[in-house]
Structure 1
Amino acid sequence: MFKSVPCNGTVFLNVTFTLLIDYFRHTSYCIILSMTFRQEITCSGLQSVKEIVNSTQRSEKFINCLLKKNEDGLYRQAGTDEQCKKGDSLIIYSVDPSSTSELQACNSLFNDHYYGKKEVAQEQKLWPDEDLFIKNFIPNSNSSLLEICCGNGRITPYLCKDGNSVVGLDFSKDSITLAKENTSDKLEFVYGDAFELPFDTEEFDVSVCFENSLGIFFEDEEKIIEELITVTSKKVLLGLRNVDDSDEFLHYYVSPDGYIEFATVFTEKRLESILEKISDNLKARIDSVDYYPGLPRPWGGTQFYAVLNLNA
């Protein structure tokens, strides 16, 4: 279910990646009417996964994978040596890893499903590493906190412990609408851009960014950290993901519902290099880095949390 591919960070023009096919593929058992980075099709005859991928991929250099629905109604990534039979429900991805706009479009589909739908959100709980980190590192007494990229507010209410006042921010209007169903006198959700935070200087004691959300932007991560530092007086807490100790790869997770989430992965070294872009002495303000390798997530990798002490 997991794959890593090189990512050079090049930004392509934001265009619609749709290629209309005006002819019938007589040699294929799967009828393809259009080609985009995500296609949903029904197989009309016996054919190998390799053949289908080869006939639908937009480029061999792209991230090309085929998801097949199983008897339980869940999607999984099919191997190239597998066969697809008539009636199989398939989702095919052919994604340009060098196109930031295309990667973000895939993530928007993922986020709309997992963070914008109430029936899905109701099943979401804290992961064990999140629970431990909140217990150990989130202040306990009347502090003001900001969580950016909060989604539907899955984590945000847990930050309101012992009198803390918390603001959750996200760029998805659907997610914020859903999150606002759980507001209280100590918990507020706002729509906003992490690159231009709508808050005053040092308005919050602590700011947090969980779930490797820093990795879904693919570029200019230092700008987001700069924004967090500006609106925070004490500490910035970053939840990040490391895969195979590599910071040179783009990682993706295939969900059981047939969506793919892309993110760049982090190491301490990569985080330090981002901080150095902001300020020469900012790296020295890393108070601690805590790893949780024994608490895996479905999409793999090791979770780690970096605490940036602004008063150091």
Structure 2
Amino acid sequence: MLIHKLFCCPQNSRQFLRSVLKRWTWANTHALPHIANYPKQYTTAAPEHVVYVSRSKNIFENLALEDWIYQNGDLENRSYLLMWSNGPAVVLGLHQNPWMECNVDRILAENVDLARRKSGGGTVYHDEGNLNLSFIKSRPRYNRKENLELVKRALAHKWDVDLSINCREDLILDGFFKVSGTAAKLGGHRTYHHFTLLVDVDVERLTTLLQSPMVGVKSKSTESVPANVRNLVESAPSMDIPSIVQCIGDQFLHHNIPQAIWASPTSSLGLLTSSLGLPTDSPGLPTSSLGLLTGSLDQSTCSLGLLTSSLGLPTGTLGLSTGKLFDSGHKCNH
């Protein structure tokens, strides 16, 4: 109707547009009560805060649990903080190439779990000296800086550590050392922001496993940003995972909220109490197969013979896509 009037009656189009604008202005000025009829997930009213602590040390179980709460939690009325520690694991961002980011052969040889999470960001190493925190909230309540400030404030108050937040939204110790990286997933009206805390991690193993042996590889996948890391216990020897969990959990529960719930799993996976409505069986676990790791890889080009080309030996390229060869070429130097 609007197109018909504008194009078939050009002499009246200006007057018609004025009338449309007038009606639109009146509707937005006088129809505010109708906003109450919008879906409740748009509300920013103070929610109930709930803290869950998983007892599982399995990276796949914990990632599945995080995703289940994200998909099924009552984010209209609640905000959740999930905390957990894993056994040794290397965790990739959603858009990363495992062979570019870590030493896959060594990871498999040492029986370390290799997983891919559903958020972006870089590759991280987990062990039981690392605490993972996931703030699961509705979209209007999503605020990464607020979450980081809460953790920074809780730790600095109890242990008097010098923590700051840099432009990449990492937690920095003593103005230089990275103790936490950050990543997030936003989908519709649901979000989570999760990050790690290096409390007492095996830094030597972290460095070894996150050092890729691949040389001369070009890829469109997201690359991790190297950083100098340090454990929090080096600045506060009395720190440990249970005390940090209690400290941050208390801070979250009393952060400008009307009610709060502490809950912890009663089994290894964490059937977390009926208040969340979790099922009595395990959430679907992500697969640990290489199919998961290669499923979203881009095309990569591997340059061969980079160290021998000065001797006049041929160099070549291999084009790889999802682990399959799609192109090759070679060049002789004379």
TM-score normalised according to structure 2 size: 0.23
Which is strand-richer, 1 or 2? 1
- Structure number with the higher helix fraction is 2
Alignment TM-score, normalising by the size of structure 1:
0.24
| Larger RCO (CA under 8 A, 6+ residues apart) | 2
The structure with the largest alpha-carbon Rg is 2
